[in-house]
């Protein structure tokens, strides 16, 4: 199996890190980017538009100074369905007791017997026999009857219940729209501050993703949509799942709410199915939620977390995501360093450097054919150091990265939006490459020199290069060349 010829192993799996108070501390954001963050997540569930704008401005300044392309992912809150608040801040519910969710109740008047709800139509969505899961499944209520605006329940699993905790219905089926009024306002902010990706929470079908795309409009046409798969109905059948994947540029396995709705036992296989389908349909995929949760308070991950991250890498995920670990934790930089080590360790496994991706299928597009041909050539020709793709949009490197390989795929792009978009793709290194002052017959030599300068290849290596006849033309990749790196390129 050919391997990367440079001295330093290049991590293929990308790291998404959420920004927040922890990353705002002096010097922390720069240390996080140096430790290997590829994509920063701006969580619109917390903070003001100004907070997000200032954080992204700082990310872009630091990334420019470090010579890195770092993508920004805006994450919409979506219709998180929550209980209201208790008079005393929290109550302890006992197993077997009666408890009422009262849509008509004052939002701050909750007691041990009943509490309000911020989602006023919840009583229309449930019926006797349904099971409601509160606080990510820590408390369980069985619905006994619905009377007008009141949902009467019996506590199946008790415990402490505090203000504003989330409600899920086992098996899904809550009718809240994926995009709330707050999301629509945040979507405008996301376009305004210039995110590269926008995540939509709780989509039920491709139509929810299409609504977001329509709202992005012309101003947000270059923003990639990420569907957060966290509702049972989104993954209930292959047709719905494939529709959502195809309506998006990427998907996220959002294991918190999804695990509550479908159950932990189902979650394992569902994660693997989502990653496989996303790769088959040429989309990127992020695995998220509690990946290194213990590192919020500890400088080292648990063995279970190490295996969880490694398994997502072995499954073929493009990226692994950190949430509270980097937004609010005590060890944000150490968490990224741990994530980096684990990803590199998992990527050394030979099984993920081999691929039968679409080997028995026909192709319909020339650029797709070239990209996949390049990867098969790279994986079978001895001495290849890298695959280099001259690209206007980043599409060819995306297609190429769907094939497992131990080799770096280098996206050479003039457009900074395309460079940042590629920061999410597994195995893709994105480098700026302005061809406007280059003669057509010098392009290949300039490309090889750029790879040598960045330590990706060395003299004696082969490089497989893909390009189009007309540079900067979207979808124009029609050429595959195998080039030799010489000392002239140093």
CB 440 within 8 A of CB 458: no
Q: Is the pTM of this model over 0.75?
A: yes
CB 55 within 8 A of CB 19: yes
- Quote the tokens at residue 436: 């406007």
Place of tokens 């004052």: 106
The CB density around residue 285, as the number of other CB atoms within 10 Å, is 28
- DSSP assignment letter at 463: E
- Quote the tokens at residue 25: 């501390």
Rounded-to-integer distance, Cα 70 and Cα 59, Å: 8
- Quote the tokens at residue 32: 């996080």
pLDDT score for 1? 34
Rounded-to-integer distance, Cα 5 and Cα 290, Å: 34
Rounded-to-integer distance, Cα 42 and Cα 65, Å: 21
- Quote the tokens at residue 289: 């939620």
3 state DSSP class of 154: strand
- Non-local (6+) Cβ contacts of 181 within 8 A are none
Rounded-to-integer distance, Cα 390 and Cα 110, Å: 60
Rounded-to-integer distance, Cα 230 and Cα 79, Å: 12
Q: How long a stretch of residues is the chain?
A: 490
Dihedral in degrees, nearest 10, Cα atoms 205, 208, 209, 215: 170
pLDDT score for 377? 87
3 state DSSP class of 321: strand
Rounded-to-integer distance, Cα 58 and Cα 52, Å: 10
- Partners of 228 in the β-ladder: 252
pLDDT score for 23? 97
Strand stretches in 89-247, DSSP E:
90-93, 98-102, 114-115, 131-134, 139-147, 150-157, 159-162, 167-169, 197-200, 224-229
pLDDT score for 4? 42
CA angle 90, 296, 79 (to 5 degrees): 55
Residue numbers annotated as active site: 41, 82, 228, 289
The CB density around residue 77, as the number of other CB atoms within 10 Å, is 15
3 state DSSP class of 204: coil
Listed residue (481, 443, 450) closest to 465, CA to CA? 481
Rounded-to-integer distance, Cα 271 and Cα 310, Å: 13
* Per-residue pLDDT of the chain in tens (490 residues, 90 and over written 9): 334 444 467 899 999 999 999 999 999 999 999 999 999 999 999 999 999 999 999 999 999 999 999 999 999 999 989 999 999 999 999 999 999 999 999 999 999 999 999 898 999 999 999 999 999 999 999 999 999 999 999 999 999 999 999 999 999 999 899 999 999 999 999 999 999 999 999 999 999 999 999 999 999 999 999 999 999 999 999 999 999 999 999 999 999 999 999 999 999 999 999 999 999 999 999 999 999 999 999 999 999 999 999 999 999 999 999 999 999 999 999 999 999 999 999 999 866 555 555 555 666 688 888 888 888 888 889 999 999 999 999 999 999 999 888 899 999 999 999 999 999 999 999 999 988 888 878 889 999 999 999 999 999 999 999 988 765 556 578 889 999 999 888 7
pLDDT score for 131? 97
């Amino acid at each position: 199996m050919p391997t990367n010829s440079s001295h330093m192993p290049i991590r293929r799996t990308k790291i998404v890190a959420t920004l927040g108070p922890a990353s705002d501390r002096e010097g922390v954001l720069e240390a996080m980017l140096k430790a290997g963050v590829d994509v920063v997540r701006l969580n619109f569930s917390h903070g003001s538009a100004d907070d997000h704008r200032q954080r992204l401005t700082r990310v872009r300044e630091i990334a420019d100074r470090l010579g890195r392309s770092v993508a920004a992912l805006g994450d919409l809150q979506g219709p998180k369905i929550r209980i209201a608040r208790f008079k005393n801040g929290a109550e302890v519910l006992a197993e077997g007791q009666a408890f009422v969710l009262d849509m008509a109740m004052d939002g701050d008047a909750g007691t041990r017997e009943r509490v309000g709800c911020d989602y006023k139509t919840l009583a229309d969505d449930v019926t006797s026999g349904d099971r409601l899961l509160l606080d990510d499944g820590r408390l369980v209520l069985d619905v006994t009857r619905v009377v007008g605006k009141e949902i009467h329940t019996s506590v199946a699993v008790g415990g402490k219940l505090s203000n504003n905790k989330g409600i899920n219905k086992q098996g899904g089926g809550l009718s809240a729209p994926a995009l709330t009024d707050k999301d629509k306002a945040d979507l405008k902010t996301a376009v305004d501050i210039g995110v590269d990706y926008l995540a939509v929470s709780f989509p039920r079908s491709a139509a929810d993703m299409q609504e977001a795309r329509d709202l992005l409009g012309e101003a947000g046409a270059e923003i990639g949509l990420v569907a957060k798969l966290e509702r049972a109905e989104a993954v209930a059948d292959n047709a719905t799942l494939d529709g959502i994947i195809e309506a998006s540029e990427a998907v996220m396995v959002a294991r918190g709410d999804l695990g509550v709705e479908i159950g932990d036992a189902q979650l394992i296989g569902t994660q693997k199915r989502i990653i496989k389908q996303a790769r088959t349909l040429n989309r990127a995929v992020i695995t998220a939620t509690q990946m290194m949760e213990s590192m919020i308070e500890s400088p080292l991950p648990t063995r279970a977390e190490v295996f969880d991250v490694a398994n997502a890498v072995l499954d073929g995920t493009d990226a692994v995501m950190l949430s509270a670990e980097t937004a609010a934790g005590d060890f944000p930089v150490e968490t990224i360093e741990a994530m980096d080590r684990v990803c590199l360790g998992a990527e050394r496994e030979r099984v993920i450097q081999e691929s039968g991706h679409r080997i028995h299928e026909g192709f319909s597009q020339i650029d797709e054919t070239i990209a996949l041909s390049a990867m098969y050539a790279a994986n079978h020709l001895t001495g290849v150091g890298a695959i280099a793709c001259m690209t206007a949009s980043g599409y060819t490197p995306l297609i190429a990265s769907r094939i497992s390989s131990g080799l770096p795929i280098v996206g050479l792009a003039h457009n900074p939006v395309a460079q940042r978009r590629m920061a999410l793709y597994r195995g893709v290194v994105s480098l700026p490459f302005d061809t406007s002052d280059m003669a057509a017959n010098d392009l290949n030599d300039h490309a090889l020199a750029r790879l040598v300068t960045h330590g990706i290849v060395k003299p004696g290596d082969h490089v497989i290069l893909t390009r189009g006849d007309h540079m900067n033309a979207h979808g124009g990749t029609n050429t595959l060349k195998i080039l030799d790196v010489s000392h002239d390129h140093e």
